[in-house]
Amino acid sequence: MAMDSCCAPARDPENPDPAAGDGADAWGFAVPKREPAKVRRGMVRVDVGEFDMGGEDVDANPTDGEGPPRPVRLSPFHIDTVCVTNVEYARFVRETGFVTDAEREGWSYVFHLLVAPTARGHVMDASVPGAPWWLAVRGASWRAPHGPGSSMSSVQNHPVTHVSWRDAAAYAAWAGKRLPTEAQWEAAARGGLSGARYPWGDELLVRGAHRCNIWQGSFPRHNTAEDGHLGTAPVKTFRPNGYGLYQMAGNVWEWCADWWTTARDGDSDPTGPATGTSKVIRGGSYLCHDSYCNRYRVAARTHNTPDSSTGHMGFRCVF
């Protein structure tokens, strides 16, 4: 087990297992045909045309490839207003019989303070270099987000977690949607603001009020939960951005379609070859803290292998 980045531990970054394709046979279930008008229900249309992607924030990690800002032109698209929830994912599993990577592998990563008391005996003898707060827990999955003895029933309206990129892409195909490109994700997250640090502006707190679910206190041992949450929050906890999209910063990392690269190609968004080893994730999570990971900024980015799953990675879809 190894660490793919400081933010999201990977199962095996040297052998990620290629991602499944887009065809019906790739997912192990028949992809239903859906009417576009019905697919778009609950989604928001984003028609930005050209926008400035990336940033030159003083807090940016130079190796992340956030900048320099460059113009990117996008065709109109629709995007989910919230992350896919546990309830929505459960419906997908009921209808298809889909088995996630975490369930197939038999374990997933859980943040150490969130491991259920009943799951302590299921912690594997493994560690993540440089990030001992991540524990590999047998039986942890979207059904049992804190390990055996926990249940998603108490967090039904929270983002589904412990889903790999492949698990997210399978859901998107079933729903008649797809995962957003990194450029689509950032254009949507900006909510119509140009160059802002966060989806709502440049200040983390707005008149003293929290606008996202991130870590407060001393990471990784003490979270004061001043924003009201120790782990994930319900998908509509904080005010939406200018496009009506909820929690594009914090709460959970969101899988994107793109392979990770820090290379830039003219005025296009970064995309890598099909031989890439990890997929882009955006938005930060409830574990982000400015003392070690401030990637809840709009321009921030990182990555993980497509078969990896954790208690702080989820997704939303586009059409």
Q: pLDDT 10s digit of each residue in the chain, 319 long? A: 443 445 888 876 444 444 444 444 578 899 999 999 999 999 999 999 999 999 988 888 888 999 999 999 999 999 999 999 999 999 999 999 999 999 999 999 999 999 999 999 999 998 888 899 999 999 999 999 999 999 999 999 999 999 999 999 999 999 999 999 999 999 999 999 999 999 999 999 999 999 999 999 999 999 999 999 999 999 999 999 999 999 999 999 999 999 999 865 543 454 444 447 899 999 999 999 988 889 999 999 999 999 999 999 999 999 9
Name the 3-class secondary structure at 42: coil
pLDDT of residue 23: 47
Q: How far apart are the first and last CA of the chain?
A: 35
Assign 168 to helix, strand or coil: helix
Query: Could you list the residue range(s) of the whole structural domain that residue 188 is in?
Result: 83-95+157-314
Residue-level pLDDT at 267: 39
Cβ count within 10 A of residue 318: 20
Separation in Å, CA 114 to CA 240, 299, 309, 315:
27, 28, 15, 21
Query: How far is it, in rounded angstroms, from Cα 107 to Cα 140?
Result: 5
DSSP 123: B
The CATH number assigned to the domain holding 162 equals 3.90.1580.10
* pLDDT value, residue 8: 82
In a domain, 51, yes or no: no
**44 belongs to a structural domain:** no
Q: Is residue 13 part of a domain?
A: no
pLDDT at 58: 87
Confidence (pLDDT) at 25: 57
State the DSSP string of 251-284: SSEEEEEEEP-----TTSPP---TT-S-EEEES-
* 172 domain residue, yes or no: yes
Report the 10 Å Cβ neighbour count for 210: 17
Examine residue 168 and state whether it is found in any structural domain, yes or no.
yes
pTM score of the predicted model: 0.93
Instruction: Note whether residue 256 is domain-resident.
Output: yes
Provide the domain count of the chain: 1
Say if 238 falls within a structural domain.
yes
Residue 258 covered by a domain: yes
